Amino acid sequence: MLLTLQIVGGRWKGIVIWNLREEKKRFCELKRILVSINDKILSQVLKELEEQVVVKRKVCELVPQKVEYSLTKEGKKLLPIVQAMNDYGQIFWFNFWFNTLAYNLWQRGQTSASYTLGRI
């Protein structure tokens, strides 16, 4: 498990892998999707994933030079893990907010049975 966490762990690696799951992307496309990451960190993450043979970097000899990133076969093997992480996060987020709402309603003395959309 520790080795897997070294590959997909950290703030950005899993997200980069997730965003390369369907098609290759250029650096600027990834940057546009991951709005809060800076160029230096994105470059570093891509380099690490390339060194771990998870991401393939392809330089197209065009003017201006074009670089595309895609998942390798090893990178695609990580997709079920990243998918499970995504699914868990969505379920956790829903349950967290649902439970928070239920608790707040309970604090106000309302029960979920008497609280309907018609009363909003």
The DSSP result for 38-94, as a single string, is: -HHHHHHHHHHHHHTTSEEEEEE--SS-EEEEEE-HHHHHTHHHHHHHHHHHHHHHH
| Per-residue pLDDT, 44 | 96
pLDDT above 90 covers a percentage of the chain that reads 55
Is the torsion defined by CA of 18, 23, 27, 33 positive or negative?
negative
Query: Whole-number mean pLDDT of the chain?
Result: 86
Instruction: Quickly name the fold that domain 2-108 has.
Output: Arc Repressor Mutant, subunit A (1.10.10)
Q: What is the pTM of this model?
A: 0.74
What pLDDT is stored for residue 104 in this prediction? 77
Residue 57 above 80 pLDDT? yes
